[in-house]
């Protein structure tokens, strides 16, 4: 909206698409933005950055409190959440990057662990078969981080053209390191055209290893 300072009676409120307000003794009124200043559709490169940043942001927020702050809360001049984003900075503007390329920060407990079987989904419940914690280069895992990222396909129209974008939903949990299948429940059941990626990382309470990712096909 356009903002104009004015010298008049101090009023506030909205009337006929115009909003009157006061800020630090300055009276202003806001009207509709001129058509020439309406934001243009994002370019292809801008859309890539927007979408990849949104995906990373959803993952980062889902794991921040339960994992990142514990292992990376003491990174200098940076929050653990921002450290996660920085760790994936090279993929933000990469149009070829996909969710399986996301790597969680590691403080070197050892090499990645593998799922004991391919992860699967039934309805909205994701199953992740995890291995027993075995000694690694610098310690033995005591806990696992498991994450599921759902990319919900959304159709929309822009400038008269039908397009597709994704809405990102990430759920995560921290579990005791042990052999067996752990589950994550998604808030929505995946549909045809959606994408699903899962992640797995091990830690011993002080340091963590490289993460593992895998795609799950949506039937």
pLDDT tens digits in sequence order for the chain, 219 residues long: 454 554 555 555 555 567 767 665 666 767 666 555 555 666 778 888 999 999 999 999 999 999 999 999 999 999 999 999 999 999 999 999 999 999 999 999 999 999 999 999 999 999 999 999 999 999 999 999 999 999 999 887 877 788 778 899 999 999 999 999 999 999 999 999 999 999 999 999 999 999 999 999 998
- What is the pLDDT at residue 217? 93
Rounded to an integer, what distance in angstroms lies between the CA atom of residue 69 and that of residue 111?
A: 21
Closest of 172, 164, 217, 212 to residue 191, by C-alpha? 217
- What is the pLDDT at residue 166? 86
Token output for 104: 């969680």
- Considering the domain architecture, whether residues 205 and 188 belong to the same structural domain is answered as yes
pLDDT tens digits, 154-179? 887 877 788 778 899 999 999 999 99
Q: Which residues contact 99 (CB under 8 A, 6 or more apart)?
A: 55, 149, 151, 195, 197, 213, 215
- What is the pLDDT at residue 161? 82
CB 31 within 8 A of CB 4: yes
- Considering the domain architecture, whether residues 104 and 161 belong to the same structural domain is answered as yes
Q: Is the pTM higher than 0.85?
A: no
What domain count does the chain have?
Answer: 2
Q: Which residues pair with 181 in a beta bridge?
A: 129
- What is the pLDDT at residue 45? 80
Rounded to an integer, what distance in angstroms lies between the CA atom of residue 54 and that of residue 169?
A: 10
- Considering the domain architecture, whether residues 33 and 49 belong to the same structural domain is answered as no
How close are the terminal C-alpha atoms of the chain, in Å?
45
- Considering the domain architecture, whether residues 29 and 50 belong to the same structural domain is answered as no
Rounded to an integer, what distance in angstroms lies between the CA atom of residue 75 and that of residue 218?
A: 38
- Considering the domain architecture, whether residues 28 and 57 belong to the same structural domain is answered as no
- Considering the domain architecture, whether residues 23 and 57 belong to the same structural domain is answered as no
CB 217 within 8 A of CB 198: no
- Domain hosting 22: range is 2-37
- Considering the domain architecture, whether residues 6 and 97 belong to the same structural domain is answered as no
Token output for 144: 């696992």
Token output for 115: 């799922």
- 197: alpha, beta or left? (left if phi > 0; alpha if psi -120 to 50): beta
Write out the H or E segment, with its range, that includes residue 166: strand 161-176
Rounded to an integer, what distance in angstroms lies between the CA atom of residue 28 and that of residue 81?
A: 37
Token output for 117: 């079987």
Pairing of strands 26-31, 120-122: unpaired
CB 87 within 8 A of CB 105: yes
- Considering the domain architecture, whether residues 14 and 100 belong to the same structural domain is answered as no
- Considering the domain architecture, whether residues 9 and 70 belong to the same structural domain is answered as no
- What is the pLDDT at residue 42? 62
- Considering the domain architecture, whether residues 87 and 156 belong to the same structural domain is answered as yes
Backbone angles phi, psi at 196, to 5 degrees: -135, 130
Helices (H) and strands (E) in the chain, counts: 3, 11
- Considering the domain architecture, whether residues 98 and 24 belong to the same structural domain is answered as no
- Considering the domain architecture, whether residues 22 and 90 belong to the same structural domain is answered as no
pLDDT tens digits, 82-101? 999 999 999 999 999 999 99
């Amino acid at each position: 909206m356009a903002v104009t300072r004015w010298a008049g009676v101090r009023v506030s409120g909205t009337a006929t698409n115009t909003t009157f307000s006061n800020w630090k003794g300055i009276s202003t009124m806001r009207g509709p933005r001129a058509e020439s200043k309406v934001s243009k559709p994002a370019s292809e490169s801008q859309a890539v950055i927007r979408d990849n940043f949104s995906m990373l942001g959803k993952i980062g927020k889902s794991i921040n409190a339960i994992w990142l702050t514990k292992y990376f809360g003491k990174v200098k001049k940076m929050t653990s959440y921002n450290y996660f984003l920085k760790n994936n900075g090279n993929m933000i503007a990469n149009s070829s990057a996909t969710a399986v390329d996301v790597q969680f920060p590691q403080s070197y407990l050892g090499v990645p662990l593998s799922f004991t079987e391919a992860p699967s989904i039934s309805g909205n419940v994701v199953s992740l078969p995890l291995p027993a914690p075995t000694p690694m280069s610098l310690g033995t895992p005591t806990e696992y981080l498991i994450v599921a990222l759902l990319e919900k396909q959304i159709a929309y129209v822009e400038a008269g053209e039908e397009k597709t974008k994704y809405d990102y939903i990430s759920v995560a949990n921290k579990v005791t390191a042990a052999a067996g299948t752990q589950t994550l429940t998604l808030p929505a059941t995946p549909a045809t055209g959606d994408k699903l990626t899962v992640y797995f990382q091990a830690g011993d309470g002080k340091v963590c290893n490289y993460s593992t990712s895998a795609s799950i096909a949506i039937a």
